[in-house]
Amino acid sequence: MIPAEFKYLVPSTVDEAVRMLAEEGEDAKVLAGGQSLVPVLRMRLAAPTALIDIGGLTELTGVRDEGDSLLIGAMTTHYEVQRDHLVQDHALLLKLVTDTVADPQVRHRGTFGGSLCHADPAGDLLAPALALDAVMIIAGPGGRREVPAADFFVDYFTTALAPDEILVDVRVPKHTGWSAHYEKLNRVAQAWSIVAVAAAVQVRDGTITAARIGLTNVGSGPVRAADVESALVGQPATAESISSAAVRASSGDGYKDNLARVLTGRALTAAVTG
Amino acid sequence: MHISVNVDGVTYADEVEPRLLLVHYLRERLGKTGTVVGCDTGNCGACTVHLDGHSIKSCSLFAVQANGREITTIEGLARDGKLHPVQQAFHSNHALQCGFCTPGMIMQAIDLLADEPDPDDETVRKGLEGNLCRCTGYQNIVRAVQDAAQRMKPGAGPEIEQRTPHAVGGE
């Protein structure tokens, strides 16, 4: 199908992009990699009056080492995240999750920041962003502000971004030496997760010293399995402690509650056993 | 909006509507109908082309986003009347029935082989995850990609490409 008409704008800086957003009003939309937005426009599920294409803003790409954390440019593609050595060494969970996003063609175009801003509850990158305590660095007319992932994902396809704001960077605290796994349940290739579990675990001398667990597609946004995390700390890295902690992933008795518990167990087991 | 795009080695300058999808630009403006549209959802991968050397789905990109960039389509692969090794491998291994998915499969296979020069069965299947075939059951496609990998190994090409790298450049 053919998308509805829109005005196409190409800013050359982030500040210019923010100005354009303010000028075009709330029916304008930022075009990042376009791997969710373009299909949405084609199906006419949305018809923004203006698209502000930030694809040329190279200042928004790449991964930088900031000491205790990594700074990942919002326009860094999934393909670049997958192959980045800093991500591999300090945020392995993010790499493993990104490996499962859509398909190779989409990963060449789709961006880390774009996925987070799209905020599809079935999107894979929300859970690891939440679990790893990522912080969103946002540019707006009044300058920059920072929003932790826990406050960024507000509801289905809704974030804390104001209509005239743009996500520029994502700060991800280093989790160097942590083991990780993403357990994703979907029926067919390139399908969205029915439920998925992103788990990172720190094990020292056979004891779990810390855990970070995020659940994909069990609510209107990513969910942190904080009860499982705290139940694991100080426990031996064994099948018994994993299974007794994993049951805390959800207390309900629905299909997805059960999946959350089962997949949390699998994710932790895979992370711990490598 | 005015765009300038290099497609299969030729630079085109055109005036396009921003909402024109790249695949429609390729097919309807440039006549490159080798790139096909299989679905309306970005799932099937039949419209796969290379943008600056990486595979993308040309139905999920506006032509204006390709401004100043380089596109390779299935029509730009053959050289001097000879099929690209991946095209030849698809032909030799009967890797198609109706052929509709083939342009996208071949473009994606070339991308995969650039990252994974000697892929096992699982790697090929993962690498072609974004391309759907409704006829073959994929068996011969996987075989063709692995055959192409052998055909493209260093030393496996035509004589002109068999020189060792340091001999090229006339040092």
> What ipTM was estimated for this complex?
0.94
Best residue in A5, A10, A98, A105 to probe B by mutation, most B CBs within 10 Å? A105
**Any idea which architecture B2-76 has in CATH?**
Roll (3.10)
Tokens of A69: 């954390």
Q: Considering CB atoms only, which of A35, A55, A190 is closest to B129? A: A190
- Fold for domain B85-151? DNA polymerase; domain 1 (1.10.150)
CATH dotted code for A7-53: 3.30.43.10
* A87, A130, A192 from A106: Cα distances, Å: 20, 23, 13
Residue A158 contacts B where some CB pair is shorter than 8 Å: no
The answer as to CATH 3.30.70.1350 being correct for domain A59-172 is no
Domain boundaries, chain B: 2-76, 85-151
Contact B60 A39 (CB under 8 A): yes
CATH dotted code for A182-273: 3.30.390.50
Taking Cα atoms as reference points, which of A122, A166, A136 lies closest to residue A20? Answer: A166
Domain boundaries, chain A: 7-53, 59-172, 182-273
Query: 């082309």: which residue's tokens?
Result: B49
Per-residue pLDDT of chain A (274 residues; tens, 9 = 90+): 899 999 999 999 999 999 999 999 999 999 999 999 999 999 999 999 999 999 999 999 999 999 999 999 999 999 999 999 999 999 999 999 999 999 999 999 999 999 999 999 999 999 999 999 999 999 999 999 999 999 999 999 999 999 999 999 999 999 999 999 999 999 887 789 999 999 999 999 999 999 999 999 999 999 999 999 999 999 999 999 999 999 999 999 999 999 999 999 999 999 998 7
Q: Do domains A59-172 and A182-273 have the same CATH topology?
A: no
The residues, ordered by sequence, that sit 6+ positions from A227 with a Cβ below 8 Å of its Cβ are: A248, A249
Give pTM, 2 decimals: 0.94
Separation in Å, CA of A51 to nearest CA in chain B:
9
Q: How far apart are CA A110 and CA A61, in angstroms?
A: 12
